[in-house]
Structure 1
Amino acid sequence: MSIYQKFCHEVTDENGMLKEIRLDYPENFNFGYDVVDRIAEETPDKRALVWCNAEGEEHIFSFAEIRRCSNQMANVFRDAGIRQGDRVMLILKRHYEYWFAAIALHKLGAVMIPVTHMLTVSDLVYRLKASPVKAIVCTAQNQVPEKVREALKQSSLDAWLWCVQAEAEGFENLTAAMQASPDTMDRVPTKADDPMILYFTSGTTGYPKGVIHSYSYPLAHIVTAKYWQQAEDNGLHFTVAETGWAKASWGKLYGQWLVGSAVMVYDFDNFEPKQLTHIINQYGVTSFCAPPTVYRYLVRKGIPDMPTLKHASTAGEMLAPEVFRRFTERTGLALCEGYGQTETTLLLANFKGTSAVEGSMGVPSPFYHIELRNKQGKPAGVNETGEVVIVPEKPGKQTGVFTAYLDNEKQYRHVWRDGVYHTGDAACMDENGRYWFRGRFDDIIKTGGYRVGPYEVENVLLEHPAVAECSVIGVPDPLRGQAIKAVIVPGREYTPTRELEHEIKEFCNGRLAEYKWIRLIEFAKEMPKTISGKIRKGLQRNQAYTGQI
């Protein structure tokens, strides 16, 4: 019996499609003790983590080794005064020490704050002031120690500092310290409702918000791993995400270990699509998850045979239909899109037992009751755009949904208004019950009395070979209220000209209903983006309304 079956009751149909899922876990559930240590006790040699880097190093860790190393690291933290409820920031890229540190902090009842190494000093200052930490554990690479020291200085804060694998001025070497630390520890009493992890959002619509999840959060990722990514017992799952993003919780730790799959980690700085496929083939990866950007590169550069790969999934941004079709034609694998937020786990997806449809987010997870509601809070009709909301089993409580915004109870109450959780994302549902993303609810364009989701227009734009990247927004128009404008980053081989603008308009408008026609095109060298790579449509709209674009 897989470990997740100790906490979960599931009902599937004859095709393996999940119809119902119910969690049953103790009030003191702790992923470190009840999953990692339990697996290590029952099957100590079971493979947990397969790690390699761009320099050719390789480490393969069993669950027994994860238990031992996490205990050693937990003892180092405890000797330094880290206690239950203390906050510890992790800036560890894809270093294998991240998995030791995460489990160690879980076992201690501390709150981990994963952030990306790409943060600037000002980014770090904002996060440190928002959530003062007891300690910081970071990579020695990419000038991260220098940025951490400067950020602490600017914020007038102090913290215990550790680096992994190498020395850095002002930092203790955590890798060396843990090797000299005891490898056993007594269980620290924690509760399933205690805060476990704090993620900062990407700041698409304002300053990043601190999102707090409890110790029950990992269990909600059973659906993520088993029924969307289709990670399998004794398989090897590869999610590309860096550990500073919530996507790492989706694909590099919780759900995968719960269903018995090992996690593949490739530690790299410079993205090279052919190297990713080499890793897949070298180690026998069985399931793969990456953002559409990765699949776009693979399609353009050429996709080799990947005989061990059984499933491919994607999320995080729009997937062009052409990429879906070409990847499927080449590999025989449909790209299964999924949707969720930092504040949630997986909400909608093309699940196991269904046929993936290009461009569709799929159907709701049986773990949540999902509805689409219009501006008046009423249910949206078929093919009518509405906001994705979660109707909880109990008022204001749903496993897998965040428990608080950091020091912002007002914002938390706002997203939970009217007894439901408001995602702020717009979608519509077709006659077959499939959901289609239409953008942030605030991104919806109101033109000539019609409502247009930017993603529907962007999907068509990306079919044109000259369009490498695009963003569609509404801009002021005296006749229509708003006109549809496309901001386009052209491919390297294309030069922005009036002729190209006219060609793209003709190409797209011939494929769109008249009320969705692109009226304006602006060529740009790059898009304004958040640090997580999301296009800042709000900034583009503000610039349009102030006449800057």
Structure 2
Amino acid sequence: MITRKKLRHRKSFAAWSVLCHVLFSLLQKKLLSSDVYSQYESIRQGKQEIPKYFNFASDVLDKWSEIEKAGKRPSNPAFWWINGKGEEVKWSFEELGFLSRKVANVLTKECGLKKGDRLILILPRIPEWWLVKVACMRAGIVIIPGTSQLSAKDILYRLQASKATCIITTDKLAPAVDSVVSQCQFLKTKLMVSKGSREGWLNFTEHGDKADLFPDHSCIKTRIQDPMIIFFTSGTTGSPKMTQHSQGSLGFRPLLSERYWLDLTPSGMIWNTADTGWILTSIASFFDPWVFGSCIFIHNLPQTDSAVILNTLCRFPVDALVGAPTLFRMLVQNDLSKYKFMNLKCCMSGGEPLNPEVMEKWKSQTGLDIHEVYGQTEVGIICSVFKGMKIKPGSMGKAAPLYDVQIIDKNANILPPGQQGEIAVRSKPIRPLGFFSEYLDNPKKTAESERGDFYVTGDKATMDEEGYFQFIGRDDDIIISSGYRIGPFEVESALIEHPAVVETAVVSSPDPLRGEVVKAFVVLSPTFLSTDPTSLIRDLQDHVKKTTAPYKYPRKVEFVKELPKTVTGKIKRNELRDKEWGRL
């Protein structure tokens, strides 16, 4: 289904990039009246209502394919993937459409999936991830992305909670799925992206080739409020919540929001290094760039290697780079004067606050600013530093278009500039299009996410007189390490299974590279008090890695006689966290 060509050395990259920009300048007037983005100008101006029906595949991607075939789009790929081993995949919008229709046929004709069925997609940064997502949209199948680091226990929970009827993953994770499949009564089909075979699994590539036998797939008609994608997001208590987004909340919103954080064009190329399980990848490596007809560049990156990333920026015409603060912390540890980026113009960081000193070091060595972006799984991009906006070190910018973002108190009163409170987005009387639909099967949590007329983020900040937001900290116990959101309850649940652990509390702890890491305070069982501490810490860490996703393991462990508690017996995590961060 997918041919990965050997990557040739391209001496003409720079000339090709310049040509694209010149071509775009010449065609700009035509594109402004005919491109997909401009078709919705009347809706943005309030002259036309938001449509009742919308499907990103047919209403955006297929429209760009038509523009492309008419010769009104620069000769820029829609998708460009490399693996660092000399292989590449390049698709135009027309090729993306052709291949995704084949996959849609696999899912509907071969696997029997229908509109509204749920499909769990756990793949690394490989082209099939993008094909399956587009195919699901064509067929009206609800997508549930997951990181490749999920354990068997994580997969079991997601399969049971979502009632997914299909899962697509690699041969690496297939054994984990098989170990729990007997407990998943709704799962009917397992597809494996691999060259080999496995009993009970369909081979994605082989069945994709069979799709040639079927006629062209017709994109299903979907309402703008129909469910499209579900993200599992961690909370401070309980298991991860199912956060559901509609066809419009992620796919239609960027059509209305202007170029509020990416400022891309059909000749642009963006590289986002986030994991495929994150909402940031869906936003920055799928919906938003393709709304503007831009090229999405992907490096497989099995491991985050600063030298590989820097060399890639020197070899390929990437003009926009998006990454977690950890990425930039790693990059500035290199001698950046040795690298000459081919086309890089804009850098964006999101997922957690970025240290001002990292921004200054990057700027001094590359001449480029890092624009901060702040958002959440539930509502997407909330604040950002737009192109041309004054950058204030430590600030995550201003409110994104379509959102009324305020700082409120516990009674939902709007606080004046400079006063600390909770970041909130107005949700009444009209719920913004970019909002999640609900926490599936959890009406209580859905209701608790609102206070007065606002959706509350759980994050504390201040806003100055100019409308810039300054992040202070999370109002809950969520730990964000290298961009991964980690709920302490999940780590505590894993630790408590170990025979050495009587009681435990997990909080964030400062780290110069990752921003913050997981730290576990552990009360030991008397039978383990004489055990070598170093060996026991390693054993506990390995236990967590095996029990849940590896990235959640506690990088720091401290043994204590008891945990601080309230009079009602609740653990005072805030006290432990404040101690870690030097606030006590």
Q: TM-score, normalised by structure 1?
A: 0.78
Number of residues of Structure 1 aligned to a counterpart in Structure 2: 470
Residues 81 and 127, structure 2, Cα contact 8 Å, conserved in 1: yes
The within-5 A match list for 1:333-482 is 333-392=368-427, 394-395=429-430, 397-442=431-476
> CA deviation digits over 1:134-171, x for unaligned, max 9?
1111122xx21111111223445532011124224122
For residues 244 and 6 of structure 1, what CA distance do their matches in structure 2 show? 31
Corresponding position: 1:144 with 2:173 = yes
39 and 287 in structure 1: CA distance in 2 versus 1, 3 angstrom threshold: same
531 and 206 in structure 1: CA distance in 2 versus 1, 3 angstrom threshold: farther
Provide the residue aligned with 1:320 in structure 2. 355
For residues 424 and 140 of structure 2, what CA distance do their matches in structure 1 show? 31
For residues 312 and 535 of structure 1, what CA distance do their matches in structure 2 show? 30
Match of 2:204 among 146, 155, 174: 174
Quote the offset at 1:223 in angstroms: 7.6
Corresponding position: 1:277 with 2:310 = yes
> CA deviation digits over 1:391-450, x for unaligned, max 9?
13644x211110011101111112124232111111101233210011122469xxxxxx
For residues 279 and 443 of structure 1, what CA distance do their matches in structure 2 show? 37
Quote the offset at 1:318 in angstroms: 2.3
Residues 211 and 402, structure 1, Cα contact 8 Å, conserved in 2: yes
Provide the residue aligned with 1:449 in structure 2. none
Corresponding position: 1:35 with 2:68 = no
| SS state at 2:299 partner | strand
Corresponding letter in the other structure for 1:49: F
148 and 317 in structure 1: CA distance in 2 versus 1, 3 angstrom threshold: same
Residues 30 and 215, structure 1, Cα contact 8 Å, conserved in 2: yes
Quote the offset at 1:487 in angstroms: 4.0
251 and 23 in structure 1: CA distance in 2 versus 1, 3 angstrom threshold: farther
For residues 195 and 46 of structure 2, what CA distance do their matches in structure 1 show? 45
Provide the residue aligned with 2:228 in structure 1. 196
| SS state at 1:43 partner | helix
Corresponding letter in the other structure for 2:340: D
Corresponding letter in the other structure for 2:269: L
For residues 132 and 148 of structure 2, what CA distance do their matches in structure 1 show? 16
For residues 152 and 316 of structure 1, what CA distance do their matches in structure 2 show? 33
| SS state at 1:432 partner | coil
| SS state at 2:79 partner | strand
Provide the residue aligned with 1:55 in structure 2. 85
486 and 206 in structure 1: CA distance in 2 versus 1, 3 angstrom threshold: closer
Note the residue ranges of structure 1 that are not aligned, 5 or more in a row.
Answer: 12-19, 445-453, 459-470, 472-484, 492-523
> CA deviation digits over 1:276-295, x for unaligned, max 9?
12222222101000000000
Provide the residue aligned with 2:491 in structure 1. none
The within-5 A match list for 1:229-244 is 229-244=262-277
For residues 164 and 21 of structure 1, what CA distance do their matches in structure 2 show? 45
> CA deviation digits over 1:5-41, x for unaligned, max 9?
2224598xxxxxxxx8999542111001111111112
Residues 349 and 362, structure 1, Cα contact 8 Å, conserved in 2: yes
For residues 10 and 280 of structure 1, what CA distance do their matches in structure 2 show? 37
300 and 21 in structure 1: CA distance in 2 versus 1, 3 angstrom threshold: farther
Corresponding letter in the other structure for 1:107: R
For residues 233 and 159 of structure 2, what CA distance do their matches in structure 1 show? 14
Residues 374 and 380, structure 1, Cα contact 8 Å, conserved in 2: yes
For residues 268 and 149 of structure 1, what CA distance do their matches in structure 2 show? 27
399 and 408 in structure 1: CA distance in 2 versus 1, 3 angstrom threshold: same
RMSD: 3.4
For residues 23 and 370 of structure 1, what CA distance do their matches in structure 2 show? 25
Residues 85 and 110, structure 1, Cα contact 8 Å, conserved in 2: yes
For residues 531 and 291 of structure 1, what CA distance do their matches in structure 2 show? 19
Residues 425 and 454, structure 2, Cα contact 8 Å, conserved in 1: yes
Residues 221 and 250, structure 1, Cα contact 8 Å, conserved in 2: no
For residues 194 and 283 of structure 1, what CA distance do their matches in structure 2 show? 38
| SS state at 2:260 partner | helix
Provide the residue aligned with 2:18 in structure 1. none
Q: Identity across aligned pairs (percent)? A: 30
Provide the residue aligned with 2:97 in structure 1. 67
Q: TM-score, normalised by structure 2?
A: 0.74
372 and 156 in structure 1: CA distance in 2 versus 1, 3 angstrom threshold: same
The within-5 A match list for 1:149-298 is 149-169=178-198, 170-181=200-211, 182=214, 184-217=216-249, 218-222=251-255, 226-298=259-331
Residues 145 and 168, structure 1, Cα contact 8 Å, conserved in 2: no
| SS state at 2:402 partner | coil
| SS state at 1:238 partner | strand
| SS state at 2:296 partner | strand
Corresponding letter in the other structure for 2:137: H
For residues 172 and 419 of structure 1, what CA distance do their matches in structure 2 show? 48
Corresponding position: 1:86 with 2:111 = no
| SS state at 2:259 partner | helix
Quote the offset at 1:533 in angstroms: 5.9
For residues 386 and 58 of structure 1, what CA distance do their matches in structure 2 show? 48
Residues 226 and 255, structure 1, Cα contact 8 Å, conserved in 2: no
Provide the residue aligned with 1:504 in structure 2. none
For residues 425 and 8 of structure 1, what CA distance do their matches in structure 2 show? 33
225 and 324 in structure 1: CA distance in 2 versus 1, 3 angstrom threshold: farther
For residues 355 and 535 of structure 1, what CA distance do their matches in structure 2 show? 39
Provide the residue aligned with 2:146 in structure 1. 115
Quote the offset at 1:313 in angstroms: 0.4
> CA deviation digits over 1:325-358, x for unaligned, max 9?
0001111111110111000121111112312222
489 and 214 in structure 1: CA distance in 2 versus 1, 3 angstrom threshold: closer
> CA deviation digits over 1:442-489, x for unaligned, max 9?
469xxxxxxxxx99xx9xxxxxxxxxxxx9xxxxxxxxxxxxx99455
| SS state at 2:154 partner | helix
Provide the residue aligned with 2:130 in structure 1. 99
Residues 145 and 276, structure 2, Cα contact 8 Å, conserved in 1: yes
Quote the offset at 1:323 in angstroms: 0.4
| SS state at 1:226 partner | coil
For residues 553 and 379 of structure 2, what CA distance do their matches in structure 1 show? 21
For residues 84 and 99 of structure 1, what CA distance do their matches in structure 2 show? 19
For residues 474 and 271 of structure 2, what CA distance do their matches in structure 1 show? 29
For residues 338 and 9 of structure 1, what CA distance do their matches in structure 2 show? 27
Quote the offset at 1:61 in angstroms: 0.6
Corresponding letter in the other structure for 1:375: K
90 and 23 in structure 1: CA distance in 2 versus 1, 3 angstrom threshold: farther
Residues 159 and 184, structure 2, Cα contact 8 Å, conserved in 1: yes
| SS state at 2:307 partner | helix
Corresponding letter in the other structure for 1:188: I
For residues 342 and 155 of structure 2, what CA distance do their matches in structure 1 show? 42
Residues 225 and 256, structure 1, Cα contact 8 Å, conserved in 2: no
335 and 222 in structure 1: CA distance in 2 versus 1, 3 angstrom threshold: farther
